[in-house]
Amino acid sequence: MAAAAEVDAEARSILERAAASSFPPLHAIHHLLSVGVCVRCIFRFFGAFSYAAPCLSLTASVLHSFLEEHDDFAKSGSCSCLSKDEAYCSICFGVLLPTCYQDDGVEPLRSVSPIDNVTSIISEAVQREGHQVDEFSLEISLPAVIAANDRAIRLYMKEKYGSANWFDEKIFSQQTMSVKEALRILLVPSVEKQMNVKHGNNSFRIRLTYTHDEGSQKLLRLLPNDHGRKRKTESRDGSSKRGSTDDDKQILSESDAFINKTLEGIQDQDFRSLFQLPPEKVLEPCHLVISCQRSPIYIGGRYLKLSRNVSQSCWIIDDERMGEASVEEIIGENVRAICKGDGYKFHAAGREDIDVRMLGSGRPFLVEVLNVRSIPSATEVQQIADKINDSEKKHVRVRNLKLVGSEIWTMMREGEAEKQKQYAALIWTSRPLTDDDLHNISLIKDMEIVQKTPIRVLHRRSPLERKRIIHWMEIEKISGGSNYYLLHLCTQAGTYIKEFVHGDLGRTHPSVGVMLSCRAEILQLDVTDVKMDFLQ
């Protein structure tokens, strides 16, 4: 009993402080209770939320008892603010004052705040999804009907008390705290305590999505445009009929931001004619969905592709896989597994054909891992590299694997067009090459060529004409071979090397064949270096 008395004393102290301040007259407070506004929304309206909200014992019945002692209207016995129906707040729909859990199914838990029960559910959701959390940010989404009802109550108060000396609409609007901000003030300290982590502008986000289907459907039907009307659909006989439940759900999926914008565009006079003032009592609370999302992390390095039967990305045609595997899957799946991510995206600085090996220092790449549960340590990143490099098939190897920032992705995209690439190509010529041929080829420096989109990729790329630079070339004869040579060359990024060798029926000019005045074919191709300054 002593503990209960102490709690009641705390509530009374808050109420006396509010009554002595610029708080509105008690009869106005009492009237808000009577139209179904919860205690926390009342204090939110009048700028007293920050010091009143933490008090667990400050309930509607406690506030009513205080009013009975100080307000003649409450003493008259004509009050219906403590009706027996199971109503929730007509503004926040129970979001700010959720129902208490019960320890034995009979009596509510007085020692635990309902908000603490909500944060326990949040903590359980984070633990259930297995997230490693060192800091968090809280995102809250509320149904637009809450904002509509909030406005309806404020307009109702203006109608009822606008002529009273104490009522100042400007001050009333300025001191009112939004439901979302009030909920954040309630939840953040509780979540910090429950999870033993700090709130901040962090990559790990806890999102609370509150919905109220019935209230939202009523709101949409009231909106003065097509968004509020039930859509007509055609029946099988061609006649029109009203939208079904599925239609309503589709309408409800429209963005709350758009609905709120529509509400903001309605003048007060029109709003009064469209909406009930005050709003009707709410018999169902909001439904809460908790989701956790971490911003993508990036693991980068350079890869070597040692097989001529492995594509860079997963390549499937008519449900049939092309090649044995892909670089994307070999690296991406190993990274995702260690990070416990929902998925991944593979980004590389250019690409090579499935039959082209990537050798030398390797091609820069990034794996963007989505919604990871665990940020990998340097040791775990090395474990990923070891697993890939020690694979029995030896299709792919990685170098300098590391956790990097998202800025590397931008740098890779910006540097992709400027980079130089070196190749080694096994070619065949229709005649033996002379020493003069080999010497003349080696003299070529920074030669410009023009390439139309190759015939082999016209089905998936726009027909364009591109200018590219061949920085240098060297040709060496393969000992013991007839008309077989090894062509080494360095080119601007985006050069089609195969077409540069054989000419692509004149679509690349000049070509190696044209320069040597013979037919030239490419038999094998390797990328031997990708010159970029990062992820070395």
DSSP E strand boundaries for 389-430:
396-404, 420-429
Strand 316-317 to 356-370 pairing: unpaired
Q: Is 134 helix (H, G, I), strand (E, B) or coil?
A: coil
The residue among 142, 162, 161, 156 whose CA lies nearest residue 271 is 156
CB-based contact 9:255 (threshold 8 Å)? no
89: buried, middle or exposed (CB in 10 Å: 19+, 13-18, 0-12)? buried
213, 353, 355, 504: the catalytic one is 353
**DSSP 8-state assignment for residue 485:** E
Name residue 483's amino acid: N
Alpha-carbon Rg for the chain in angstroms: 35
Those residues whose C-beta lies under 8 Å from the C-beta of residue 103, and which sit 6 or more positions away, are 109
Q: Is 168 helix (H, G, I), strand (E, B) or coil?
A: coil
Dig out the tokens for 427 from the structure: 């070619």
Name residue 211's amino acid: T
Strand 310-311 to 325-326 pairing: parallel
Q: Is 353 a catalytic residue?
A: yes
Question: Within a 13 Å sphere around the CA of 407, how many CA atoms are in the beta-carbon half?
Answer: 2
First to last CA, the chain: 71
Per the document, the length of the chain is 536
CB-based contact 409:298 (threshold 8 Å)? yes
Cα–Cα distances in angstroms (integers) from residue 140 to residues 4, 127, 143, 183, 288, in the given order: 33, 19, 10, 8, 10
CB-based contact 354:322 (threshold 8 Å)? yes
Dig out the tokens for 263 from the structure: 């509400």
Distance (Å, whole) CA 500 – CA 504: 8
Those residues whose C-beta lies under 8 Å from the C-beta of residue 83, and which sit 6 or more positions away, are none
425 - beta bridge partners?
487, 525
Residue 310: CB atoms within 10 Å: 24
Distance (Å, whole) CA 423 – CA 491: 8
Active site residues: 353
